[in-house]
Amino acid sequence: MPALQREGSIVIWRYKEAEANMLRRALGFGRFVASRLLSLRSRPGLALFRDPWGGRPMLRVLGSHGTVFEVNGLPSWELPYRYPRFGRSPALREKIKDLERFCLDSAGAVFTVSNVTREALIQQGVTPSRISVVPNCASEVFFESEPFEPPVLCDSFDLLDRLKGGRWFGYIGSLHPWQGVELLVDAWAQIEAEWPEVSFLIVCGRRTPAIRRLKKQIRKRGLTDRVLLHPAISAERLAAVLSRLEFTCAPLLETARNVVQGCCPIKIVESMAAGTPALASDLRVTRDLIQHDVDGLLVRPGEVRDWALALRRLLKDRALRRRLGRGASHTAQTRFTSRVMFDRLQTVFRSTFMGSP
């Protein structure tokens, strides 16, 4: 029988120390939020939270008026991906769902980044009229026609210098299983011999077991010299990198993480803002961002052969890349600027004041 510990209404089953520590930190954060709010001399005019751990104490201290819940994901959705044992603990999962329901019901307003996530929240019982959709935006640096090139501060300069030679396409983002990067490597392996002048850049996060697995796959496919792995870089450097890529890829898999929970991939938004077309899986979350053959291309998810054909199509058709790039830039200018996002957020923030006494 695993040891257990009670923290308020949450019982921490110590299947693994990492899981228990995560819950302790989350609950400790809630206590910190409550103490800080109680120490304020005056009530804040607006309070925004992104998780139920801080949201519950915030709502109990402040009430609904002026509170906004930004939902990109919920712990009951996200935790099983990182800690599979949570999915096998129904009691703990229900406790977490109770926290989420309290926050969703009590917040003055709720907003999220995609229509798919909005529908998932409606399935949780949230009144549809209370949920607004505010997609991600790209920072101004991505919209510059001549992206800023930073001084030589680290190996990112070597990356920019290297991208000046040959032709490049890329993937920017995490290596979580639902992102489909392994599929993209397999698709590239099918056609890379036809394109000796082309290389594939992957810009991803810190070193993790996922990177070690990806490196092993790259070696196994004989792509060591045709795929460049690089750690995450700043927005300014990323804008410069995107300007040198012919296109980017978002090979999202058809998983519950993408199809039911939803998302608004910032890598697609930033690529479009830079005028670099995106090749993405044909899912509802990407159809909300990309119009096929107008400002990007959509490909059947999970099909290596289809992705190989799509890569070939973009690599051989310069006119297509330019047309899609212009379309992507236009779409980003009208939908994904900070001004558009701020206007939508202002509407959300005002609603919490107008909807409460």
The C-alpha angle 128, 51, 14, rounded to 5 degrees, equals 125
Whether the full predicted model's pTM is greater than 0.85, yes or no, is yes
All domains of the chain in start order, with CATH = 4-137+341-354 (3.40.50.2000), 140-336 (3.40.50.2000)
> Residues 267, 173: contact at Cβ < 8 Å?
yes
357 residues of the chain, pLDDT tens digit each: 344 444 444 444 444 566 677 788 888 999 999 999 999 999 898 999 999 999 999 999 999 999 999 999 999 888 888 777 776 778 888 889 999 999 999 999 999 999 999 999 999 999 999 999 999 999 999 998 555 454 444 444 578 888 888 999 999 999 999 999 999 999 999 999 999 999 999 999 776 789 999 999 999 999 999 999 999 999 999 999 999 999 999 999 999 999 999 999 999 999 999 999 999 999 999 999 999 999 999 999 999 999 999 999 999 999 999 999 999 999 999 999 999 999 999 999 988 876 544
Q: Tell me the pairing of strands 10-13 and 4-7.
A: antiparallel
**CB contact set of 105 (below 8 Å; sequence gap of 6+):** 125, 126
> Residues 106, 152: contact at Cβ < 8 Å?
no
Reduced to 3 states (helix: H, G, I; strand: E, B; else coil), residue 292 is strand
DSSP 130: G
